Amino acid sequence: MGFVVGLDAGGTSTRALVLDLDGTRLGAGVAGGANPNSHPPELAAAHISQALVAALDGLDAAKVQSGVLGMAGSSKVLSDPSVTALFEAAWTGAGLRCPMRVITDCEAAFATGSSAPNGTVLVAGTGSIAARITDHRLAGTVGGYGWLLGDEGSAFWLGREAVRATLRALESDAALDPLAEAVLTMADLRVTDSRRDVWRRLITTSNQNPPIHLSHYAPLVTAHFESPSANRIITAAVDSLADLAMSCREEGEDTPIVLVGSLVHAHPLGTRLRAELTARTRATVRIATEGAAGAAWLAAVEVLGTTAPRPC
């Protein structure tokens, strides 16, 4: 019996999963982020290779009959020949002989959370995007513009808003709330000199790091959710993410909504987001915990059709 392989490549991590055709998990591998928009393509491809090699350890890669790579930044892999070559080299370098089918992380996520052919997926992780799925394939998206142009409600956005809220607090004479204090601690800054000096150094530190580094501040927002500034940020994030999901749906639609991403599990943001979507629609709201499983199931569908067993 042959195997199938699925990968979920995001901005911060990459996971590969090998399944038997009966849905049994045979191997898994984890590596760093592989989104070629937020990482150098050479590094992104290297992380794909690392995850694949780890997942295939002890298995005959030549027996893999179908493989699907679900990823954020898939458009760059599909449209830039030099990036395509890097990823295909990582694929074949791991011993795979089957074609590399590249899909969006949205398609992989929806397949993880539901076997239904149609519905909506909302990704709330390092970035944010909502997508409409029709016949298991991407039919349209809303958002997903990246850190520079959008990604409202994402971990990057939360982290940036946490830093901005801290800067605004430093501009006033009011006491810093717990979120602002936590941001300064993570930035290795302390209000020992004038607030203006700390304000200036926080700006400098934030701009010296790669933009994606701002997402590191996101956990501080949910950890200090009782702080006034954190509560405002969470409320805005929930509204933005719910609006994003609903923009992909027709009025009265009851197809499933699948949520995926680190923020879906972050209390209280994830809890409030699920409640908001439940209040706005009659649909079942589900959580996808592992995009690689959805990608692997779609790879199995290519071999067995839609009756392919779901991953165990």
| DSSP structure class, residue 308 | P
Question: Where does the chain show beta strands of DSSP type E?
Answer: 3-9, 13-20, 25-32, 64-71, 100-104, 119-124, 128-134, 137-143, 257-260, 285-287
Which of 241, 247, 234 has the alpha carbon at shortest distance from 259? Answer: 241
Residue pointed to by tokens 């779609």: 298
CA distance between the termini of the chain: 17
Instruction: Note the pLDDT of residue 17.
Output: 97
> How many residues are given for the chain?
312
Task: Determine the pLDDT at residue 76.
Answer: 75
Question: What pLDDT, on the 0 to 100 scale, is given for residue 92?
Answer: 96
Determine the 3-state secondary structure of 260 from DSSP: strand
d(CA 216, CA 212): 8
45 SS3 class: helix
Kindly give the pairing relationship between strand 3-9 and strand 13-20. antiparallel
Q: How far apart are CA 312 and CA 299, in angstroms?
A: 15
Residues 295 and 7 sit within 8 Å (Cβ to Cβ): yes
Please identify every stretch of the chain with a pLDDT value under 50, giving residue numbers as ranges. Answer: none
Look at residue 279 in the predicted model and tell me its pLDDT.
Answer: 93
Task: Spell out the domains of the chain, with CATH numbers in brackets.
Answer: 3-115+289-304 (3.30.420.40)
pTM of the model: 0.80
- pLDDT score for 199: 95
Residue 11 pLDDT? 77
